[in-house]
Amino acid sequence: MRIAVFCSGKGSNLQAIIEAVKRGEIKAELSLVVSDNKDAYALVRAREAGIESVVVEPKNFSTREDFEKKIIEHLEKKKIDLVCLAGFMRMLSPNFVRRYRNRILNIHPALLPSFKGTQGVKDALDYGVKITGPTVHFVDEKMDHGPIILQSAVEVKDEDTEETLAERIHREEHKIYPLAIKLFVEGKLKIVGRRVMILE
C-alpha cells in the first residue's frame, strides 16, 4: 500500500507517521508528501526523511478543479492508495472525495462533531468544555464530518492556554493518527453507516 500525506504547515503529524513507518508499525510505503504551501515546514521533514514531495499552490490555477487535477496527477503517478490529511488547511471537492472514496483520512484537534473548522482547540477552550481531544475520521463531502475511526480524551485544565492545551492534544494526535493508519493498512476498519468497526 502506498500513502500520500497532505500538509500545509508544521507537519508534526507527518513526523509521527514517518516514524511509525520507519519502526515498521505501519506496513506501507510513505510515497509522497503534498503541500499547498511552499514554505510548509512539513516539506523540510519530508526531505530529511528522503520522501518525495510536491508543492501544488492554488494561486497557480484558475479553478479548484484544475488545482485538484494536478494533485490527482501526482497521486496517480505514484499509485497512491491512501491519502492522509495532516494539517491540510483546504477542503477537498466532492469530485476528489468521490475519486478516493473511503481512502482519505483526516485528523481534527477536537472531539467531533463538536468544534468543527480551523479553530478546534480555541473553540473548545473558549466554550469551557472540560474534556476535548483529537479525532481521526474518514473524509466525506462535508467538513470534519465523515465516519469516526479513533478519538482520544484530553482533560482541559483551569490554567490551560490555547498553546498548552494544543500541545497535549498534539501528543495524543501523534499516537492515534499512526494507529488509525496502521488499522487501515491492515484492512481492519469496516465502515457500517456512520460507525467504523475495528476488526480483530
Interacting residues with ligand GRF (CB under 6 A): 7, 9-13, 86-87, 107-109, 134, 173
Q: Which of 182, 187, 193, 185 is nearest to 148 (CA)?
A: 193
The nearer residue to ligand GRF, 33 or 71, going by C-beta atoms, is: 33
The nearer residue to ligand GRF, 36 or 173, going by C-beta atoms, is: 173
The nearer residue to ligand GRF, 105 or 196, going by C-beta atoms, is: 105
Q: What is the 3-state secondary structure (H, E, C) of 37-73?
A: CCCCHHHHHHHHHCCCEEECCHHHCCCHHHHHHHHHH
For the bound state, the minimum distance from the C-beta of residue 7 to ligand GRF, rounded and expressed in Å, comes to: 6
- Using the Cα atoms of residue 139, residue 141, residue 147 and residue 150 in order, give the sign of their dihedral: positive
For the bound state, the minimum distance from the C-beta of residue 20 to ligand GRF, rounded and expressed in Å, comes to: 13
Q: What is the maximum span of the chain, computed from C-alpha positions, in angstroms?
A: 50
Phi/psi-derived region of residue 80, left when phi > 0, alpha when psi is between -120 and 50, beta in every other case: beta
**Which amino acids are annotated catalytic?**
108
Q: Which residue is nearest to ligand GRF (CB)?
A: 87
For the bound state, the minimum distance from the C-beta of residue 192 to ligand GRF, rounded and expressed in Å, comes to: 25
